[in-house]
Structure 1
Amino acid sequence: MAERSTNQADEAAHGASRAGEPFWKGRRLDELNPAEWEALCDGCGRCCLNKLEDWDTGEIVWTSLACTLLDGESCRCSDYDNRFATVPDCLQLTAELVPTLSWLPPTCAYRLVAEGRDLYWWHPLVSGDPETVHAAGISVRGQTFPEDGIPLEDYENFLADWPGENPMDEKVRVGFIE
């Protein structure tokens, strides 16, 4: 997740791609400059939730336990520049790594761009407002617990499906007569 200045985000948002479109529509991840890369993070915080992997099957499951550095209100890293020193297993997303991470949330802008898809309406680069990711119910705001003090063997008590789901997918309505 990226902590960035407003100027960087504004610069990146107005950076045009090949056809005058927003930068994320006309370029691959490996063609983005650092400001564009950082601006692509929507600030949802989902990637900063702890995940468990089944050693036998390789299946990855989500928990509602947040990284010690995740600010639960802003859904941003509280020490972005020094995160690797504090959290050694924090992962640096790269253009090469993104397509290999099956656990990236389905709404993740890095994933969407890598798949050649557009950003959702609530993404701050589209809406122009960093609060829309929260208002749309995409972010982890109000849905997590701090990992601090929770023994690893208790993580299974915090399993959650919602971080890996896409609330933008159309849901089948049950119990309604059309």
Structure 2
Amino acid sequence: MTTTNSVPFWQEKSLEEMSRVEWESICDGCAKCCLHKLIDDDAQDEVIDTTHMNDQEELHFTSVACRYLNDKKCECTVYKQRTQLVPSCIQLTQDNLEQVFYMPTSCSYRRLQEGRGLPSWHPLLNKGKKSAMHKAGMSVRGKIIFDDMITEEEFEDYIVVWPLKDLD
């Protein structure tokens, strides 16, 4: 998808200006957004799962993924119903870009919002294929456990830093 002057749309348009098709194609399909995130509140000395953060809190990623994730394809198996089935699922849209901080630093939406461009492994730069992303280790493939396999109290035991890895 390029514009008439051969400049890729993601270099010419802001996220807010993109069509729905363009917006959806920005998703790199890594599935890191499907990982449960915990917020560490130093003031309360506890880790909680929540949908908002205060200034004194810190976001942690876990290797615990939503039960609806196909971990081979890195795709949601209930994409259209995901927010009904999982109310805490963050559906990043053009209207709530302020929530981009919940996405890992490698997230293509976050990268574009921060002015960093798409990474070399992004499917839009690799003939629509996810293979470069998987090869670079940027997806969740082979790294997760599902949330229906453990209790919510155990999520804290699965805090990881690999979702924050970013390349180029």
> Do both share a fold (TM > 0.5)?
yes
Tell me what 2:132 maps to.
Answer: 132
1:26-175 pair list within 5 angstroms: 26-55=12-41, 56=43, 57-128=56-127, 129-166=129-166, 168=167
User: Structure 2: where are the runs of 5+ without partners?
Assistant: 44-55
- Normalized per residue, which structure has more strand? 2
Deviation at 1:99, TM superposition (A): 4.1
Give every structure 1 segment of 4 or more consecutive aligned residues whose post-TM-superposition deviation is greater than 2 Å: 95-103
Report Cα offsets for 1:85-134 as digits up to 9, x if no partner: 21111111123433443231111110111122221111000111222111
What CA distance in whole angstroms lies between the structure 1 residues aligned with 2:29 and 2:57?
A: 27
Query: How well do the aligned residues superpose, as a CA RMSD in angstroms?
Result: 1.6
Tell me what 1:173 maps to.
Answer: none
Deviation at 1:135, TM superposition (A): 1.3
TM-score scaled by length of structure 1:
0.80
8 Å contact from structure 2 (residues 92, 99) kept in 1: no
TM-score scaled by length of structure 2:
0.85
What CA distance in whole angstroms lies between the structure 2 residues aligned with 1:154 and 1:127?
A: 38
Say which SS state the counterpart of residue 83 (structure 2) adopts: helix
Deviation at 1:58, TM superposition (A): 1.0
Deviation at 1:34, TM superposition (A): 0.6
8 Å contact from structure 2 (residues 101, 110) kept in 1: no
Alignment of 1:16 onto 2:15: no
**Percent identity of equivalent pairs:** 39
Say which SS state the counterpart of residue 54 (structure 1) adopts: strand
What CA distance in whole angstroms lies between the structure 2 residues aligned with 1:101 and 1:118?
A: 15
User: Structure 1: where are the runs of 5+ without partners?
Assistant: 1-13, 170-178
What CA distance in whole angstroms lies between the structure 2 residues aligned with 1:135 and 1:70?
A: 19
8 Å contact from structure 1 (residues 66, 147) kept in 2: yes
For these two proteins, the number of residue pairs brought into alignment is 154
8 Å contact from structure 2 (residues 92, 100) kept in 1: no
8 Å contact from structure 2 (residues 138, 165) kept in 1: no
